[in-house]
Structure 1
Amino acid sequence: MYTNVSSSVLLSLAPLGISDANIYPAFLFGTITYLLIMFFNLLVLAAIVVSKKLHKPMFILLFNLPINDMMGATAFFPHLVYSVVTQDRLISQPACITQAFLIHFYGTGNCLILSSMAYDRYVAICCPLRYNAVMTPQNLIKIIASIWVITFSIIVTLILLLARFRMCRTHVVDLFCNNPSLLKLVCDDITMNNYYGLATMCLVQGGALAIIIYTYLQILRTCVMTNHPDARRKALQTCGSHLVVFLLLQFNTVITLIAHRIESASPYMRRVLGVSVVIFPPFFDPIIYGLKITELKQGIKGFLKRGVVSMKG
């Protein structure tokens, strides 16, 4: 018989498996990684804000990505580095549910933001004469508002469906709190939660994948048909970086969610892939976009030069 622990303050996360000799190197590595993520993403945000050349629909949509990435990293890293240095894997139930909310909000938000960016590139490359008519400031506001409202609605519903249960276990099977691992602490019927989780996964992941496939096939067709090598190179370069970011997030997220539903799946593989979802995209997104998109790279250089000049002055 399980003991009802819904009133228990603390839950225990999966152990990190770090030896005493590696505690401080791991703490230092985690702290530096988090600080670099915040720095790189803030740099992209600052460059877009400061440079008037980047006040275009493509970069305004991109502006949402660093914000979302920083939220995902902040939901994960502070508690992780605290756990590393204290070797304390306990977390309060409200804090665990909050972390799960932020992690899922980050993942869903990323998919929708990347999908909207793919649509923007599709219109710009395949329908250039209609671009200014389609990507108007009003439509841009509607797209951005829809991203955050849809993400918030989906994840709030997900967490409310979880919060209605009384938990009867305390051991979280993952290195951070998420909906699948928290559902494993429940002893009641979670059929509705499973159906909702599958439906949202198909809607968000499947919908984003469908948009990416369609838009990129159209972009590829247009690039092959164009007679301007420079335009073709620029289009493929921009879209190539976008595709790398999207596939990295999609692959790891889908495999992690599926692994939770397969009893024979390796917990170590699931944990590694799950952690990679909240580490690699926030770390590499600003680097990939900053290096591959010429206008953004120039904007970042201009912002840094301006900062150096102001410091000297």
Structure 2
Amino acid sequence: MENYMYNSPTLQLQELRIEATYPMFLFLFFSYLFLIVANVGIAVLVFVDKSLHQPMYILFCNLSINDLFGNSIMIPRLLVDMLRPPSERLISYYECVVQAFTTHMFSTTAHTVLMIMAFDRYVAICNPLPFVLVGILLGLTLRLGRCRTLIKSPYCDNAALFNLSCEDVFINNVYGLTFTVLLFTGSIGSMVLTYTKITVVCLTTKNKSLNNKALKTCSTHLVVYLIFLFSGMSIITLHRFPEYSESRKIVAVLYHIIPGSLNPIIYGMQSKEIRKFVSKVKLKKVLPLY
């Protein structure tokens, strides 16, 4: 019946098939709440405290805003759908396109910001390149007619959208693969180059203070990057194995929620300026005013 429908304005999202639905719902719900509070707190802190108006903190603020934006488009809708029966998990095609665009912008922007952080300099906060690349990615999909209505994922992404079509998607696959390869090559390449140079400096210098500072600063950034990289690569790998489709869906959801929750903790706790600001706020609340 599904193959006879053409360009339907309404699509159906596939459920997240797990036995522990309610524990998973609670985990995602409270993780999302923490993500919102932590990232809004970081963004407000950087905006309010003029001493944090530095390239690295502005980039960190961008990362927090990206986490907020990317997760707020996807997670609330997913939580609501988890409590609905499968027949009621419906989404309009254009809402699905917006969700897919946001999903890919979230990933591309995060990789871009982390690459810039690796170079430890401010290149461009409002660089339009990620927007254009993701726009082309989704534009190639929008040109396709649709003969199916089932999104084989708990949320929309580009692959799920162009799989709705019965037309030739060769161009989509080529561009999508090229886009992914360039993003990951540039991302991994910049990290390897930067950390190789840092390692060489640390090995050739006898300054323990400098080495400890480099280790402390770089380790936090590297942990965030590796979590983001491996979770993203896991989704791409699992796409090639249909028998693990349920595992892919769970990993895809965690790919959004976990990095967004960990970023404020890892960067916030390691930043001396942020810790000082938080301490000042606590003291003002605790000490009575006379």
Shorter-chain TM-score above 0.5: yes
Deviation per CA, 1:165-214, whole angstroms, max 9, x where unpaired? 11111111111111112222111001111111011111111101100110
Deviation per CA, 1:254-282, whole angstroms, max 9, x where unpaired? 2312332x245511221122112111111
Q: Tell me the residue number matched to 2:208.
A: 229
Q: Tell me the residue number matched to 2:115.
A: 115
CA distance in 2 between partners of 1:193 and 1:265 (Å): 23
Q: Secondary structure at the match of 2:164?
A: coil
What is the CA-CA distance between 1:32 and the residue it aligns to? 2.3
What is the CA-CA distance between 1:299 and the residue it aligns to? 3.0
Letter in 2 for 1:99: Q
CA distance in 1 between partners of 2:143 and 2:282 (Å): 49
Letter in 1 for 2:185: G
Matched, 1:81 2:79: yes
Letter in 1 for 2:6: V
Matched, 1:296 2:274: yes
Deviation per CA, 1:139-169, whole angstroms, max 9, x where unpaired? x4x52122xx111101111111111111111
Q: Secondary structure at the match of 1:86?
A: coil
CA distance in 2 between partners of 1:311 and 1:44 (Å): 26
Q: CA RMSD in A?
A: 2.3
Q: Tell me the residue number matched to 1:9.
A: 9
Q: Note closer, same or farther for the CA distance 1:234–1:14 as it changes in structure 2 (3 Å cut).
A: same
Once structures 1 and 2 are overlaid, which stretch shifts more, 240-249 or 78-87? 78-87
Q: Which of the numbers 258, 279, 284 marks the counterpart of 2:262?
A: 284
What is the CA-CA distance between 1:303 and the residue it aligns to? 4.3
Q: Tell me the residue number matched to 2:125.
A: 144
Q: Which of the numbers 37, 41, 46 marks the counterpart of 1:39?
A: 37
CA distance in 2 between partners of 1:151 and 1:199 (Å): 14
What is the CA-CA distance between 1:294 and the residue it aligns to? 2.7
Count of residue pairs the alignment pairs up: 287
Native 8 Å contact 1:48 1:299 kept in 2:
no
Deviation per CA, 1:194-239, whole angstroms, max 9, x where unpaired? 1110111111111011001100111111122232222211211111
Native 8 Å contact 2:12 2:150 kept in 1:
yes
Native 8 Å contact 1:169 1:186 kept in 2:
yes
CA distance in 2 between partners of 1:77 and 1:305 (Å): 35
Native 8 Å contact 1:170 1:185 kept in 2:
yes
Matched, 1:53 2:51: yes
Letter in 1 for 2:30: I
Q: Note closer, same or farther for the CA distance 1:259–1:36 as it changes in structure 2 (3 Å cut).
A: same
Letter in 1 for 2:93: Q
Native 8 Å contact 2:144 2:165 kept in 1:
yes
CA distance in 1 between partners of 2:18 and 2:241 (Å): 26
Query: Where do 5+ consecutive residues of structure 1 fail to align?
Result: 121-134
Q: Tell me the residue number matched to 1:171.
A: 150
Q: Note closer, same or farther for the CA distance 1:302–1:269 as it changes in structure 2 (3 Å cut).
A: same
CA distance in 2 between partners of 1:173 and 1:4 (Å): 16
Q: Note closer, same or farther for the CA distance 1:45–1:10 as it changes in structure 2 (3 Å cut).
A: same
Q: Note closer, same or farther for the CA distance 1:247–1:265 as it changes in structure 2 (3 Å cut).
A: farther
CA distance in 1 between partners of 2:260 and 2:35 (Å): 6
Q: Note closer, same or farther for the CA distance 1:208–1:312 as it changes in structure 2 (3 Å cut).
A: farther
CA distance in 1 between partners of 2:202 and 2:99 (Å): 42
Q: Secondary structure at the match of 2:155?
A: coil
Q: Secondary structure at the match of 1:144?
A: coil
Letter in 1 for 2:194: T
Matches for 1:121-200 after TM superposition, within 5 Å? 140=122, 143-146=124-127, 149-200=128-179
Query: Where do 5+ consecutive residues of structure 2 fail to align?
Result: none
Q: Secondary structure at the match of 1:165?
A: coil
Native 8 Å contact 2:15 2:82 kept in 1:
no
Matches for 1:249-260 after TM superposition, within 5 Å? 249-260=228-239
